[in-house]
């Protein structure tokens, strides 16, 4: 699984070594797309690092900036923002829970846990360990137990998802026999993972009704191949690693013995060995899997694709490159922000999604040619969450909602300050100690992000319901009839387009010569071409109802193919 170490020994930054390996790959094209223009880069990196498009003012400022290091500075600024934590929360929520409905742990608690984790820049090692070891009994760590609890500790479901999400291998078809088509997916691999959780179960407290994870001290894994009828058994193990034997048992096996309405807790927990075994440096599949997934997040496709189907007949397209990513990730203690930053800094990430000029014999409209070797950037469909936030930002809804939240918070702070002054006066008269309650500052970016996310949560959920597929990690955009109708005729979109003092009204109040620029900056994060400006000016001459005209224009932009993709 490991490859040559030439690139690993280089002293240069990781992003340079990545580019060297991409260009040196035997399949790399002689004709390479140019570096993408500043406007496309700005939109791309905002979507990938914050989950939404930039505002028109942010685009103007970036385009006007002539500093040579402005792209690197922007990357660092976005990575330090609370919006980055929200973007990663969404990415890892969808990856780990695949839009499952809440059962034992509320989705809001799980999402807050992930958001806080990414704000703290927890490593993937720490985050994985917390998710795999939490039992739901302690308030502080309870949300992390959602991965196990909301799968009902179903052995088959948890086993499959452990293999897919933490090892990059979908072992489902090895449940009943060695995989019929993939030689290196074996039945013992499946049951080796299952053995870690076989003894665990969902316990519901009869008093509090809260669910947590209990465990027995016994229970072995035995399996039979339906092809050969051969029987076998295994202790817990990760793929081909050595089985982990239980320690010698004494007279007492439990911290808390099994009893009616009691959560049993064994002295030795197989489930708690799972995180240690999965994250052990000897298990290279753990770091290769997450490195491949982060690459896919940024580049639009994995070096192993699909990302959960790594096997001998589907090896990385760039093995030395994936080895470099995985080993560098390990060296930097699984720092996700570090890896995302290095990928964003690469020439590979910053290439245009269009060839200029096209390859000989290649149609210039061929959007997929060159993406597998990364000679051209891949078009990436916006996720449901990206689409929702980008539409709310472009239409002006997000800006108006935030302004309203800030105003309410400032008024609440003024009221609290006035009441504190009154209490202080009374306390001085009565010689008592004053107790004050401080509200978070409305200018705090973290408060703003959390408040705005809470206020618009229902809208995002609507988009997730329309565009998200439960149980599927979506990587392509294929609009269904319902999705097309939602964009074209949906009441929600129409309300945003007609928002009072929103983008449509702002455009209607502008001079004709200013409309095209503001529209394209707000919706597409770029300046209009001369032809596009002319078309809008001609359109403005055709109607006396300027507001209706602007609403139609904004709707057309939001529903367009250009808006739905990250270029």
pLDDT for the residue 420:
81
Statement: residue 358 has pLDDT above 60? no
Summarize pLDDT for 476-492 with one digit per residue, the tens: 556 677 888 888 878 99
pLDDT for the residue 480:
76
492 — alpha (psi -120 to 50), left (phi > 0) or beta?
alpha
Question: What is the Cα 21 distance to its own chain's centre?
Answer: 26
Q: Residue 397's pLDDT band (boundaries 50, 70, 90)?
A: very high
Statement: residue 434 has pLDDT above 50? no
Summarize pLDDT for 272-286 with one digit per residue, the tens: 999 999 999 999 999
pLDDT for the residue 478:
61
Q: Are 115 and 192 in contact (CB under 8 A)?
A: no
> Once rounded to an integer, what is the mean pLDDT over residues 506-520?
96
Question: Phi and psi of 253, rounded to 5°?
Answer: -110, -10
Query: What ranges in 26-99 are assigned the alpha helix state H?
Result: 38-50, 56-64, 70-79, 82-97
Instruction: Give the Cα separation of 243 and 539 in Å (integer).
Output: 72
> Once rounded to an integer, what is the mean pLDDT over residues 95-122?
97
| Residue boundaries of the structural domains of the chain | 151-280, 385-566
> Once rounded to an integer, what is the mean pLDDT over residues 383-404?
97
Length of the chain: 567
Percent of all residues in the chain with a pLDDT value above 90, rounded to a whole number: 81
Tokens 């929600």 — which residue?
Answer: 492
Structure tokens at 337: 């922000």
> Once rounded to an integer, what is the mean pLDDT over residues 504-525?
96
Instruction: Give the Cα separation of 259 and 164 in Å (integer).
Output: 35
pLDDT for the residue 267:
95
Run of H or E residues at 233:
strand 231-234
Q: What is the 3-state secondary structure of 168-226?
A: CECCHHHCCCCCCCCCCCCHHHHHHHHHHHCCEEEEECCCCCCEEEEECCCCCEEEECC
Percent of all residues in the chain with a pLDDT value above 70, rounded to a whole number: 91
Run of H or E residues at 292:
helix 284-299
The CB density around residue 511, as the number of other CB atoms within 10 Å, is 7
Beta bridge partners of 288: none
pTM over 0.75: yes
pLDDT for the residue 164:
97
pLDDT for the residue 220:
94
| Exposure b/e, 291-321, CB count within 10 A at least 16 = b | bbbbbbbbbbbbbbbebbbbbeeeebbbbbb
User: pLDDT averaged over the chain?
Assistant: 91
> Once rounded to an integer, what is the mean pLDDT over residues 246-253?
88
Statement: residue 435 has pLDDT above 50? no
Mapped onto helix, strand or coil, the DSSP state of residue 282 is coil
Query: What ranges in 99-171 are assigned the alpha helix state H?
Result: 107-119, 124-133, 146-149, 155-167
Instruction: Give the Cα separation of 201 and 206 in Å (integer).
Output: 15
Q: Residue 11's pLDDT band (boundaries 50, 70, 90)?
A: confident
Statement: residue 365 has pLDDT above 50? no
Q: Residue 10's pLDDT band (boundaries 50, 70, 90)?
A: low
Q: Residue 436's pLDDT band (boundaries 50, 70, 90)?
A: very low
Instruction: Give the Cα separation of 47 and 50 in Å (integer).
Output: 6
pLDDT for the residue 2:
41
Statement: residue 399 has pLDDT above 90? yes
Statement: residue 372 has pLDDT above 80? no
pLDDT for the residue 53:
98
pLDDT for the residue 75:
98
pLDDT for the residue 364:
47
Q: Residue 179's pLDDT band (boundaries 50, 70, 90)?
A: very high
Statement: residue 4 has pLDDT above 50? no
Statement: residue 463 has pLDDT above 70? yes
> Once rounded to an integer, what is the mean pLDDT over residues 65-79?
98
Please classify residue 411 by burial: count the beta carbons closer than 10 Å to its beta carbon, then call 0-12 exposed, 13-18 middle and 19+ buried.
exposed
Contacts of 255 (CB under 8 A, 6+ apart): 265, 266, 267
pLDDT for the residue 472:
44
Structure tokens at 474: 């979506």
pLDDT for the residue 119:
98
pLDDT for the residue 421:
79
pLDDT for the residue 361:
53
Q: Are 342 and 13 in contact (CB under 8 A)?
A: yes
Statement: residue 259 has pLDDT above 60? yes
pLDDT for the residue 8:
46
User: Does residue 535 or residue 362 have the better pLDDT?
Assistant: 535
Q: Which of 434, 438, 446, 396 is nearest to 416 (CA)?
A: 438
pLDDT for the residue 473:
45
pLDDT for the residue 280:
96
């Amino acid at each position: 699984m490991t490859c040559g170490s030439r690139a690993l020994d280089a002293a240069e930054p990781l992003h340079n070594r990545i580019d060297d390996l991409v260009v040196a790959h035997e399949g790399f094209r002689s004709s390479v797309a140019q570096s993408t223009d500043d406007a496309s880069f700005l939109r791309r990196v905002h979507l990938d690092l914050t989950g939404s498009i930039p505002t028109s003012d942010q685009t103007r400022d970036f385009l006007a900036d002539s500093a040579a290091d402005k792209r690197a500075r922007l990357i660092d600024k976005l990575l330090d923002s609370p919006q980055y934590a929200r973007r990663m929360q969404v990415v890892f929520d969808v990856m780990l829970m695949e839009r499952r409905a809440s059962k034992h742990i509320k989705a809001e608690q799980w999402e807050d846990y992930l958001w806080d984790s990414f704000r703290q820049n927890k490593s993937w090692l720490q985050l994985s360990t917390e998710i795999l070891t939490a039992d739901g009994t302690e308030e502080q760590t309870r949300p992390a137990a959602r991965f196990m609890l909301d799968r009902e500790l179903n052995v088959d479901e948890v086993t499959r998802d452990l293999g897919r999400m933490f090892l990059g291998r979908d072992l489902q078809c090895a449940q009943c026999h060695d995989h019929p088509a993939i030689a290196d997916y074996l039945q013992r691999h499946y049951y080796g993972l299952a053995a870690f959780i076989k003894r665990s179960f969902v316990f519901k407290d009869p008093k509090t009704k809260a669910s947590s994870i209990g465990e027995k001290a016994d229970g072995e894994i035995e399996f039979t191949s339906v092809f050969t009828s051969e029987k076998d058994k295994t202790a817990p193990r990760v793929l081909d690693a050595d089985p982990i034997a239980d320690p010698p048992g004494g007279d007492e096996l439990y911290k808390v013995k099994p009893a009616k309405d009691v959560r049993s807790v064994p002295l030795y927990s197989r489930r708690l060995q799972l995180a240690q075994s999965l994250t052990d440096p000897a298990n290279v599949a753990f770091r290769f899997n997450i490195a491949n997934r982060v690459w896919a997040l940024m580049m639009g496709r994995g070096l192993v694709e699909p990302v959960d189907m790594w096997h001998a007949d589907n090896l990385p397209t760039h093995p030395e490159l994936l080895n470099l990513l995985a080993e560098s990730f390990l060296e930097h203690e699984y720092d996700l922000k570090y890896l995302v930053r290095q990928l964003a800094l690469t020439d590979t990430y910053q290439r245009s999604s269009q060839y200029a000029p096209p390859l000989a014999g290649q149609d210039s409209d061929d959007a997929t040619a060159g993406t597998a070797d990364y000679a051209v950037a891949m078009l990436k469909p916006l996720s449901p969450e990206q689409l929702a936030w980008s539409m709310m930002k472009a239409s002006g809804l997000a800006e108006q909602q935030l302004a309203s939240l800030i105003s309410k918070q400032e008024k609440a702070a003024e009221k609290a300050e006035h009441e504190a002054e009154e209490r202080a006066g009374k306390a001085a008269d009565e010689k008592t100690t004053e107790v004050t309650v401080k509200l978070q500052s409305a200018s705090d970016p973290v408060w703003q992000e959390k408040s705005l996310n809470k206020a618009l949560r229902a809208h995002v959920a609507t988009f997730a319901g329309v565009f998200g597929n439960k149980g599927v990690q979506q990587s392509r955009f294929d609009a269904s009839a319902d999705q097309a109708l939602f964009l074209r005729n949906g009441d929600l979109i129409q309300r945003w387009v007609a928002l009072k003092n929103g983008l449509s009204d702002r455009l209607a109040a502008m001079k004709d010569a200013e409309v095209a620029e503001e529209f394209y900056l707000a919706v597409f994060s770029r300046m209009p071409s001369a032809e596009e400006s002319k078309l809008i000016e001609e359109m403005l001459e055709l109607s006396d109802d300027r507001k209706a005209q602007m609403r139609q224009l904004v709707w057309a932009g939001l529903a367009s193919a250009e808006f739905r993709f990250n270029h």
